[in-house]
Structure 1
Amino acid sequence: MNHSPPSKAELRAALRQVRRDYVRALRATGAEAERHIAERLAAQVLPHLAGAHIVAGYRPTPWEIDPGAIEAQLLGAGVTVALPRTTPNAPLIFHAIDRDTVITPGLHGIHEPPSSAPVVVPDVILVPLVAVDRRGIRMGQGGGHYDRTLEALRAQKPVRAIGLAFDVQLVDHLPAEPHDQRLDALATPTQWLEFMGGRSG
């Protein structure tokens, strides 16, 4: 009996569930476990950000790994940290923040800086994801925001895209489409993987 492969939507739903189950189990062990994960993630990433002048992070949704420890150390070192503002069907716009910037819910409830914060173009973008494979193909939430953003920025200058994930989000293979933008690297709390950045095609 032949079974057709799952659609991308079905695969995304299944991988979201894997991530959700992992995070629920992690949180059941207490807040210290999440803090430890964030610190281990920062230890993987920060050595690879030497020389970066502007680094874009993100405010995580409830099931995404938190880059807050990375951002805090960068701010302490005098690096410009930015967060994205989201507009439907358009590239993300990044705004510089500091420790006093008020972050409020924007599109889809994702927290973002005010539009009055300075607009910057990052050298490095820390990218959230649902899953990633060993070629650097990323599966996001499905809106295409980071693919559009990376395509636009990479047409202007070299920009490194570093995916951030729990180890459970790394899979062997994901379907790729012509518009997909590969990650340059992936950081999890236990490993760092380098990819060949650029388009997947």
Structure 2
Amino acid sequence: MNDPPGLSERERLRRAARRARRAFVAALAAPVRRALEDALAARAAPLLSSGATVASYWPVGAEVDPSGLDARIGRLCFPRITHDGTLAFHACPRARLAAGSSGIPEPPPEAPEVTPDVLLVPLLLFDAAGGRLGQGGGHYDRALARLRAAGTPLAIGLAWDMQEAPALPLEPWDAPLDLVVTPTRLLDFRRARPRAGWPR
């Protein structure tokens, strides 16, 4: 499939990553996908302390489904997109999520707003330095910049192994991940030297 002319390198990468991830997941038999996501959840579970407030997400398309971790989380919260395009996090069980303005299920407005200690972060691509390429809206980048200015939340990317890229064309506002968990690996970037311009 040919992309329209004039796309930036980042948008071309996003389009290619979406196609590759969609094809990868479509080729998985349902029991195989469940087994991979169970393996990822088992690898990620020790990172979540019982007293932590953990922000999860509703999987869209071929994203890794993080729901296998819900029962292991002390206090679960989910994002809502605010009027200024950033994310606010509200304590809410997954069963109470309802379709939001973007069509993605989110907490009801009356759910209490909380500050997460840990964020489980979806992604299109990650690289060997903890760089992340998301969907392009910048929601998690802005949320992580805000949260990191006030504390030290742990950002954990959840991904299929095939979503790793050798290097990504990142911008100063792209918020890095602290860890990435895949069905086969746990990658810890916290001791790596941060890229210039990355918030820490």
TM-score (norm. length: structure 2): 0.88
Aligned residue number for residue 26 of structure 2: 24
Given the alignment, which residue of 129, 135, 159 partners 1:141? 135
SS of the residue aligned with 1:108? coil
Aligned residue number for residue 14 of structure 1: 16
SS of the residue aligned with 1:70? helix
Aligned residue number for residue 3 of structure 2: none
Aligned residue number for residue 118 of structure 1: 112
Mark the CA change 1:42 to 1:200 in structure 2 (over 3 Å): closer, same or farther. farther
Aligned residue number for residue 87 of structure 1: 82
Amino acid at match of 1:80: R
Number of residue pairs aligned between Structure 1 and Structure 2? 189
Determine whether 1:164 maps to 2:158.
yes
Mark the CA change 1:52 to 1:158 in structure 2 (over 3 Å): closer, same or farther. farther
Amino acid at match of 2:18: R
1:53 Cα deviation from its structure 2 partner: 1.4
Aligned residue number for residue 53 of structure 2: 54
Identical counterparts, % of pairs: 45
Amino acid at match of 1:109: G
CA distance in 2, matches of 1:157, 1:191: 27
Q: Any gaps of 5 or more consecutive residues in structure 2?
A: 1-6
My pick for the range that moved more, 123-132 or 79-88, is 79-88
Aligned residue number for residue 73 of structure 1: 72
Q: Is the 8 A contact 1:95 1:117 kept in 2?
A: yes
My pick for the range that moved more, 144-153 or 46-55, is 46-55
1:72 Cα deviation from its structure 2 partner: 2.5
CA distance in 2, matches of 1:48, 1:190: 15
CA distance in 1, matches of 2:119, 2:156: 6
CA distance in 2, matches of 1:70, 1:191: 16
Amino acid at match of 2:47: H
Aligned Cα RMSD in Å? 1.9
Q: Is the 8 A contact 1:181 1:199 kept in 2?
A: no
Aligned residue number for residue 4 of structure 2: none
Given the alignment, which residue of 101, 121, 126 partners 1:127? 121
Given the alignment, which residue of 173, 183, 189 partners 1:179? 173
Q: Is the 8 A contact 1:179 1:199 kept in 2?
A: no
CA distance in 1, matches of 2:33, 2:84: 33
Aligned residue number for residue 97 of structure 1: 92
Q: Is the 8 A contact 1:129 1:164 kept in 2?
A: yes
1:159-180 alpha-carbon deviations (Å, 9 max, x no partner): 1100000111011111110101
Q: Is the 8 A contact 1:94 1:122 kept in 2?
A: yes
